[in-house]
């Protein structure tokens, strides 16, 4: 991998890298924040999956996570939201399909399937790469995300029991098979067989027997996408039905933006830190 930025922040280093992805068959960009502790020992990692239209850059400039990660001795791994580049399929007229909207799934339909393998990328290729090249404790990781990235965090955790110590999400898309954003991407990337979509839906995964792990979700009541796209009630009901513990908090008046994320990112970092102790 190639380092393309190296910026000192809160005593640690905010680095940006590119590499040739074997999963996505294109050059991928990601950022990693290494806390001050990483200069003397290996540290655990928290992956942050971003939402529609984002790159790795939005969270690192808008969420204010680095100062908490510095204090807690946790690295932040911030991937892009899709494969990108000239040879990569896209729908330039839509912000919610194609580049910037990979949905953290493995596409099976062309023209998407040859590059849109974001699930394998964030759960396997990227962890193997950063754990080999950076001072990270192999296998000690948790995951969080926002909106489409909250959906991504939930499915990565539910589909990989034991791989993540904890999972959290900000305004996640909880039941993508039943909302416009999800239906648009899942039908394009996976085809019309709605049964196949359930393997990529947090609510369906819980209903199908996902194993519990520490789980925190924050959702703003003033979120402009809450009614149409996010459906947290479906996930909470599924968790209640299956006796899966979930800490679900409605946060009054907060919208869908990074102002909401910035308001609670410190609590999410502290939540994950409790589950990322190495001794
Ligand atoms: N209003 C947005 C809809 C997409 C959106 O709200 N994206 C969220 C994630 S779902 C985001 O994080 N946007 C980038 C940002 O706020 O920096 C647009 O049309 O671009």
pLDDT digit string (tens) for 260-274? 999 999 999 999 999
Instruction: Tell me, yes or no, if 223 is annotated catalytic.
Output: yes
178 pocket-lining for ligand 1 (C-beta < 6 Å)? no
The pLDDT value recorded for residue 34 is: 98
Is pLDDT at 279 greater than 80 in this prediction?
A: no
The pLDDT value recorded for residue 90 is: 97
Out of 147, 151, 166, 231, the active site residue is 147
Q: Which domain holds residue 159?
A: 2-275
230 pocket-lining for ligand 1 (C-beta < 6 Å)? no
Is pLDDT at 167 greater than 80 in this prediction?
A: yes
pLDDT digit string (tens) for 13-48? 999 999 999 999 999 999 999 999 999 999 999 999
pLDDT digit string (tens) for 178-211? 999 999 999 999 999 999 999 999 999 999 999 9
Ligand 1 atom closest to 171 (CA)? 10
CA 71 to ligand 1 center in whole angstroms: 29
With CA atoms as reference, report the closest residue to 218 among 278, 161, 260, 276: 260
CA 11 to ligand 1 center in whole angstroms: 30
236 pocket-lining for ligand 1 (C-beta < 6 Å)? no
pLDDT digit string (tens) for 210-260? 999 999 999 999 999 999 999 999 999 999 999 999 999 999 999 999 999
57 pocket-lining for ligand 1 (C-beta < 6 Å)? no
Indicate the DSSP class of residue 19.
E
Token pair 């493995």 in the structure block, residue: 106
Q: Per the structure, how many domains does the chain have?
A: 1
pLDDT digit string (tens) for 71-118? 999 999 999 999 999 999 999 999 999 999 999 999 999 999 999 999
Ligand 1 atom closest to 225 (CA)? 6
195 three-class SS: helix
ipTM score: 0.91
Name the residue at shortest CA distance from atom 9 of ligand 1: 51
258 pocket-lining for ligand 1 (C-beta < 6 Å)? yes
With CA atoms as reference, report the closest residue to 133 among 15, 266, 243, 252: 15
Instruction: Tell me, yes or no, if 256 is annotated catalytic.
Output: yes
Cβ distance 155 to 202 under 8 Å? Answer: yes
Is pLDDT at 3 greater than 90 in this prediction?
A: yes
Name the residue at shortest CA distance from atom 19 of ligand 1: 95
Ligand 1 atom closest to 96 (CA)? 4
Q: What is the DSSP string of the chain?
A: -EEEEEEEETTEEEEEEEEEETTTTEEEEEEEEEPGGGGTS-EEEEEEE--TT--THHHHHHS--HHHHHHHT-EEEEE-SS--STTS---TT-SSSBTTB-TTSB--STTTTTT-BHHHIIIIIHHHHHHHHSSEEEEEEEEEEBTHHHHHHHHHHHHSTTT-S-EEEES----GGGSHHHHHHHHHHH-S-HHHHGGG-HHHHHHTTPPP--EEEEEETT-TTIIIII-HHHHHHHHHHTT---EEEEETT--SSHHHHHHHHHHHHHHHHHH----
Mutational pocket test of ligand 1: of 52, 150, 263, the residue with most ligand atoms within 8 Å of the beta carbon: 52
CATH of the domain at 256: 3.40.50.1820
CA 114 to ligand 1 center in whole angstroms: 26
Is pLDDT at 156 greater than 80 in this prediction?
A: yes
């Amino acid at each position: 991998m190639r380092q393309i930025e190296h910026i000192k922040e809160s005593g640690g280093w905010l680095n940006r890298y590119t590499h040739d992805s074997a999963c996505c068959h294109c050059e991928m960009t990601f950022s990693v924040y290494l806390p001050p502790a990483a200069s003397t020992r290996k540290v655990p990692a928290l992956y942050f999956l971003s939402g529609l239209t984002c790159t790795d850059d939005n969270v690192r400039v808008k969420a204010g996570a680095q100062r908490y990660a510095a204090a807690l001795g946790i690295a932040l791994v911030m991937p892009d939201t899709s494969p990108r580049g000239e040879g990569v399929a896209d729908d330039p007229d839509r912000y919610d399909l194609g580049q910037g909207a990979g949905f953290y799934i493995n596409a099976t339909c062309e023209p998407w399937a040859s590059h849109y393998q974001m699930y394998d990328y964030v759960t396997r290729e990227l962890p193997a790469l950063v754990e080999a090249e950076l001072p990270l404790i192999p296998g000690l990781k948790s995951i969080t995300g926002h909106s489409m990235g909250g959906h991504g965090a939930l499915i990565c955790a539910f589909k990989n029991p034991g791989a993540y110590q904890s999972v959290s999400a900000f305004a996640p898309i909880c039941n993508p098979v039943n909302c416009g954003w999800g239906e648009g991407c899942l039908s394009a990337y996976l085809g019309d067989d709605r049964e196949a979509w359930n393997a990529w839906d947090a609510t369906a995964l819980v209903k199908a027997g996902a194993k519990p792990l520490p789980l925190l979700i924050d959702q703003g009541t003033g979120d402009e996408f809450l009614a149409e796209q996010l459906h947290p009630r479906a996930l909470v009901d599924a968790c209640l039905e299956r006796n899966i513990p979930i800490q679900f908090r409605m946060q009054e008046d907060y919208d869908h933006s990074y102002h909401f994320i910035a308001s609670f990112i410190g609590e999410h970092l502290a939540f994950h830190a409790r589950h990322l102790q190495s001794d």
